[in-house]
Each structure stands twice: as structure tokens, then as C-alpha cells.
């Protein structure tokens, strides 16, 4: 700014002096002397204008270099963003391919899908902040005073410098592309849907690739259907009873044997006893069940506890009546009787008659599987299934808009220029200031500036995996109390040592896992080992 004001100030001073002295111009000889002095002044002014033009040209080059450097930094930022996006997509694919249930599981133990955090390393890099440049210092010309009779100011022209005009241009630079994310609801702040949940929805009929932002789907579980099959179980076996048919007689009046010696059949009924039989209703089997109790699920992607439980076989005791001793008759002798009386004479002897007793049966019902339980996924607006069969699992496709930032830069609107203005001649005898040394420039180098940038580089990606955890089947209040004491000793805040796995204890466990780089999402055996339990 000081360099631009010098020629203007000099011209104004010269013009004022010329007007003051013009009234005193008297002779032609004085006019001739002033011409030489004025020419010297005009030459000096021309040199100054050349120096100013060179300075403006240098500033333009420096501005162009800074603009190129800014473009390079923007390109580097875009390349770094593209590299960071690739491992994230690969990590998502690996989580989708993770197994649905843990392998080599043991009955009575519980497992949970936990999130193993990514590992990073920090590196320091030196980058160029300002490139090396230089500035020009103008050393002004020196003058000396001599006595001459000259023309103070000849008719001439003067150059007026019009400075360049600039404007600030704002450029819109893409920082992050728009992103489609599956979440548990349409709220962009809700948790992301876990890869296993997405894989389950895809497996049971949802075309994830054809979904549009705003689409939501939920899960139904239709329980297995059974029917009761009845079979006849023998309660008492087929048997028979013996009925006695008495003899028939007629009466004869004579002196005869009144009653011959005979036999009498005595009916002995059958005796029974009860026996019990153990019948298999359903065989033993194992099943995966969700764990409950002191350890609860943290979110939809980690902490889901699965326990392999052994279901014992189911039996039914059937009591039935069986014949111990069958019915029979006993023969007893009846002695003969004699008397002269009206005799009763036997026509047909006594006999026995067998009467069949049919077997008795009871109907026994047995539960038989007709249709297996099944999982169904469909659009949340589909009301064809009962709402009571919903499991609570839901996925929604959300769209995160692209992110931009504005970069401002200064560009030239109109370049600097000079305007020619006519100056009338002025004559006077004065002391003339003549050029002793010419004005010159001095180049001063401005060294480059550097700055250190710390970069965080990912070594390994975060992933989900099954880990053995504590659940209601293998947790005691004593173990929880030891856990709370160990966390408190390491300056975490698990709450009171009461043997209850509450919200404060769960929060302290999660903070400890994050600080130690352990897997999060449940109280894993790895965490207990790290605490020395």
C-alpha cells in the first residue's frame, strides 16, 4: 500500500509546487532550463511505474501458486476419504457372513454375539503449510539539489495507477457421499441393524437390494402346531366268569332215598391286581434359548445371549388292571339222605356256564407335531398376520444425505492498470532536484513453512463374534460381588457391592472393555479373566 501511494503523493506535490511557481515565470531562458529538470522527473516517475507493474505481476504469480496448492490438498482429502470407505464396506460384508449360532457349543453354557472393536495406530506426518516464496523491497532513488533555471513543468501526461479489484469465490466441495443405512427404525439416530438381523430378513423373503429409503419390515414367529392322537391302552384283559346252573328235581311219594350222595359246585370269583407301565411321550432333545437374568441385552447388534439347554424326555405312567387268578369252581361232596317221604328226584344234575368278560381299554392322548414353527418377514403395513406373533425385530432403510463444505478463494475481477492524464506545462526558475541514484529492487526470500499432522490408521477392522458369557444358568451373586469389587478397585463405578448386575455395573463393565480394547456387548469370560476373576 505504501509503494502505491508514493508516486501519487509525488505527483500531487509536484503539481502544487508548479502552480505556486507558475506566477513567477518571466523569461524564456528560465523556461529552457526547466525543461531538462522536468524530463528528469518524468524519467524517475516512469521507473517507479515499471517497478509497481513488476510487483503486481509477482503478486499474481504467488496467488496462482497458492490456488494450485489448495487444489492439491482438496484432491488428497478426497483420496483419503475413498480409502477409508473401502475397509468399512468389507467389514460390513464380513459381519453379514458371520455364523447364526456358535460352533462347538456345550449344553448348560451361554453365548452372546459381541463386538470386537477395530485396532488403530497413530502416525505423525510433516506436510507443507506455505510454499517457499519471496518478496520485493523497493529501495527508492536518491536525489540532490542543484541551482538551475528550468521549466518547472512542461506540458506532459501523468499515469494514474488503478489498483486491481478482487472478489471472494465460494466453491462447494463434497466431503461425504450420501449413505443408505439399515437401522432398527426410520430415526437416523437409532441403532444400526445388525448383520445377522439383515441376513435373517433376507433369508426369510425380504429383497434388501430392491428396498427404497423409508421402507420398513418386521419379523413374525409362527409357533409349531400339534395335534393329539388317541390310542387304546389295555386296562383289563379279556376274561370269563362261571355261573352255576342248579340241578332240577321232581317229587315222588315213596320210601326212597330222599337225597343221594352228590357233589356241590362252589363258585370262586376271579381275583385281580394292578400294574403300572411307563410310556414314552416325547424323547429328550437340546434347544437354543435366549438367556435372561443378571445379564441383559445392550443393543440390537451385540449382547444377545443364547443358551444351549437340554430338555429331558417326557414319560406317562399308565395304571392297568390284570387278572391275578381266574374265576373257578370248587367241588364239595353232599352225603345221601334216606327217609320214607315224598322223594325229590333229580332230573338234571347241577352244571356250570362260562360267561365271557370282554377286555377293557382307556383312550390315551399323545401330542404329535403337525407343522414346524416358522419365521416370516414382511412389510410393516401388511396386517395379514396376528400382531401377537411379532418378535419385535424390525429393519428400516434410512438415507443419510451427502455432506459438503464451502471453500473460499480470492480471484481477480479486474487487473491493475494505469490511466493517462494530461498535465499542462509550468515554468519557473527554481532549485532543481536531480537524480543521484536510481530506484532499485531487493528480493527477500520467505522460507517455506511446514506443519505436523497426526493420522490414525486402522490395523484391523471391528467385527462380531460369538463369545462365552455369563447368564442366569452360570452366574451367582457371589461372582457378581467379586466383579463389582474388582471394578471399584480399578477406579470404575459399578455401584454398591450387592451381588446384583444392575445398570451401573453394566455401564462400568462396558467402559472397562472399551478402555482395554476388549469385546463389548456382554459380560464375556475374557473380561473376567482380564479382571483376575
- Cα separation of 17 and 150, whole Å? 14
Q: How many CB atoms lie within 10 A of CB 176?
A: 13
Q: Classify residue 294: in a domain, yes or no.
A: no
466 plus 511 within the same structural domain: yes
73 plus 109 within the same structural domain: no
110 plus 59 within the same structural domain: no
Q: Classify residue 335: in a domain, yes or no.
A: no
For 331-387, give the secondary structure using H, E and C. EEEECCEEEEEEEEEEEECCEEEEEEECCEEEEEEEEEEEECCEEEEEECCCCCCCH
500 plus 525 within the same structural domain: yes
**H and E: helices and strands count for the chain:** 6, 28
C-alpha 404: how far from its chain's center?
24
What own/partner pairs with CB < 8 Å and gap ≥ 24 does 474-481 have?
474/108, 474/109, 474/110, 475/293, 475/294, 475/295, 475/501, 479/533, 480/294, 480/505
Q: Classify residue 338: in a domain, yes or no.
A: no
The residues pairing with 153 across neighbouring beta strands, listed in sequence order, are 426
* CA angle centred on 197, ends 196 and 203, rounded to 5°: 85
- Cα separation of 168 and 501, whole Å? 61
Q: What is the pLDDT of residue 195?
A: 92
Q: What is the pLDDT of residue 459?
A: 67
C-beta separation of 390 from 219 below 8 A: yes
Q: Classify residue 195: in a domain, yes or no.
A: no
C-beta separation of 423 from 81 below 8 A: no
Q: What is the pLDDT along the chain (533 residues), one digit of tens a residue?
A: 444 444 444 544 555 545 444 444 444 455 566 777 878 888 888 888 888 888 888 888 878 887 888 778 778 767 765 665 444 444 444 444 445 566 666 665 666 666 666 766 677 777 766 777 767 778 887 888 877 677 766 777 777 888 888 888 888 878 778 888 899 888 888 888 899 988 988 888 888 888 889 889 989 888 888 888 877 777 777 777 777 788 888 877 777 677 778 888 788 887 888 878 888 878 887 877 766 544 444 444 455 666 777 888 888 888 777 778 887 888 888 888 777 767 677 788 878 787 888 878 777 777 778 788 888 898 888 888 888 888 889 999 898 888 888 878 777 778 878 888 887 877 777 676 777 788 777 778 888 777 777 766 766 666 666 766 666 666 788 888 998 999 999 999 899 989 888 889 989 999 998 988 888 877 888 888 888 88
Q: What is the pLDDT of residue 485?
A: 92
465 plus 523 within the same structural domain: yes
Q: Classify residue 60: in a domain, yes or no.
A: yes
52 plus 110 within the same structural domain: no
Total number of domains constituting the chain: 2
Q: What is the DSSP string of 480-496?
A: HHHHHHHHHHTT----S
471 plus 519 within the same structural domain: yes
- Sheet containing 390-400: order of strands: 179-183, 390-400, 216-222, 374-379
Q: Classify residue 340: in a domain, yes or no.
A: no
467 plus 520 within the same structural domain: yes
- Cα separation of 87 and 97, whole Å? 15
Q: What is the pLDDT of residue 83?
A: 61
- Residue 521's CATH number: 1.10.101
Q: What is the pLDDT of residue 294?
A: 47
66 plus 102 within the same structural domain: no
Q: Classify residue 511: in a domain, yes or no.
A: yes
69 plus 94 within the same structural domain: no
Range of 475's domain?
89-115+461-532
Q: Can you give the pTM of this predicted structure?
A: 0.27
Q: Which three cell numbers stand for residue 297?
A: 441385552
Q: What is the pLDDT of residue 300?
A: 45
Q: What is the pLDDT of residue 370?
A: 78
The residues pairing with 192 across neighbouring beta strands, listed in sequence order, are 183
- Cα separation of 398 and 184, whole Å? 10
59 plus 103 within the same structural domain: no
494 plus 525 within the same structural domain: yes
Cα R_g (the chain), whole angstroms: 57
Q: What is the pLDDT of residue 26?
A: 46
Q: Is 269 left (phi over 0), alpha (psi -120 to 50) or beta?
A: beta
Q: Classify residue 504: in a domain, yes or no.
A: yes
Amino acid at each position: 500500500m505504501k509503494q502505491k501511494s508514493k508516486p501519487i503523493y509525488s505527483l500531487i506535490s509536484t503539481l502544487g509546487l508548479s502552480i505556486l511557481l507558475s506566477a513567477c515565470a518571466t523569461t524564456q531562458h528560465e523556461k529552457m532550463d526547466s525543461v531538462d529538470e522536468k524530463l528528469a522527473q518524468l524519467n524517475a516517475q516512469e521507473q517507479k511505474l515499471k517497478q509497481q507493474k513488476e510487483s503486481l505481476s509477482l503478486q499474481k504469480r504467488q496467488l496462482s501458486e497458492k490456488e494450485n496448492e489448495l487444489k492439491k490438498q482438496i484432491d488428497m482429502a478426497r483420496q483419503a476419504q475413498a480409502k477409508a470407505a473401502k475397509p468399512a464396506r468389507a467389514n460390513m460384508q464380513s459381519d453379514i457372513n458371520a455364523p447364526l449360532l456358535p460352533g462347538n457349543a456345550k449344553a448348560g453354557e451361554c453365548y452372546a454375539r459381541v463386538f470386537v472393536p477395530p485396532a488403530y495406530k497413530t502416525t505423525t506426518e510433516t506436510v507443507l503449510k506455505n510454499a517457499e516464496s519471496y518478496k520485493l523491497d523497493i529501495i527508492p532513488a536518491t536525489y540532490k539539489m542543484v541551482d538551475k533555471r528550468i521549466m518547472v513543468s512542461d506540458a506532459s501526461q501523468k499515469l494514474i495507477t488503478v489498483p486491481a479489484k478482487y472478489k471472494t469465490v465460494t466453491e462447494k466441495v463434497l466431503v461425504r457421499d450420501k449413505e443408505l443405512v439399515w437401522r432398527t427404525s426410520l430415526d437416523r439416530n437409532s441403532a444400526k441393524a445388525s448383520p445377522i438381523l439383515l441376513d435373517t430378513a433376507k433369508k426369510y423373503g425380504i429383497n434388501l437390494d430392491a428396498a427404497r429409503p423409508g421402507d420398513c419390515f418386521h419379523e413374525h414367529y409362527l409357533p409349531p402346531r400339534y395335534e393329539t392322537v388317541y390310542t387304546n391302552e389295555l386296562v383289563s384283559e379279556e376274561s370269563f366268569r362261571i355261573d352255576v346252573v342248579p340241578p332240577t328235581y321232581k317229587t315222588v311219594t315213596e320210601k326212597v332215598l330222599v337225597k343221594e350222595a352228590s357233589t356241590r359246585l362252589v363258585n370262586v370269583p376271579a381275583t385281580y391286581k394292578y400294574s403300572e407301565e411307563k410310556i414314552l411321550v416325547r424323547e429328550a432333545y437340546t434347544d437354543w434359548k435366549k438367556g435372561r437374568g443378571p445379564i441383559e441385552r445392550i443393543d440390537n447388534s451385540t449382547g444377545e445371549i443364547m443358551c444351549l439347554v437340554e430338555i429331558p424326555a417326557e414319560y406317562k405312567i399308565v395304571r392297568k388292571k390284570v387278572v391275578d387268578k381266574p374265576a373257578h369252581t370248587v367241588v364239595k361232596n353232599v352225603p345221601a339222605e334216606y327217609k320214607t317221604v315224598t322223594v325229590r328226584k333229580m332230573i338234571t344234575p347241577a352244571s356250570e356256564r362260562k360267561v365271557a368278560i370282554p377286555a377293557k381299554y382307556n383312550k390315551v392322548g399323545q401330542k404329535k407335531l403337525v407343522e414346524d414353527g416358522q419365521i416370516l418377514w414382511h412389510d410393516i403395513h401388511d396386517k395379514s398376520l396376528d400382531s401377537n406373533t411379532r418378535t419385535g425385530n424390525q429393519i428400516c432403510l434410512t438415507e443419510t444425505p451427502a455432506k459438503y463444505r464451502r471453500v473460499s478463494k480470492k480471484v481477480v475481477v479486474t487487473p491493475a492498470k494505469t490511466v493517462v492524464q494530461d498535465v499542462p506545462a509550468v515554468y519557473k526558475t527554481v532549485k532543481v532536484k536531480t537524480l543521484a541514484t536510481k530506484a532499485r529492487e531487493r528480493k527477500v526470500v520467505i522460507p517455506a513453512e511446514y506443519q505436523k499432522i497426526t493420522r490414525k490408521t486402522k490395523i484391523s477392522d471391528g467385527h462380531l463374534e460369538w463369545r462365552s458369557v455369563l447368564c442366569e444358568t452360570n452366574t451367582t451373586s457371589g461372582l457378581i460381588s467379586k466383579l463389582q469389587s474388582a471394578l471399584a478397585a480399578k477406579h470404575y463405578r459399578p455401584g454398591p457391592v450387592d451381588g446384583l448386575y444392575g445398570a451401573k455395573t453394566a455401564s462400568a463393565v462396558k467402559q472397562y472393555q472399551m478402555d482395554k480394547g476388549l469385546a463389548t456387548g456382554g459380560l464375556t469370560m475374557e473380561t473376567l479373566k482380564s479382571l483376575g476373576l
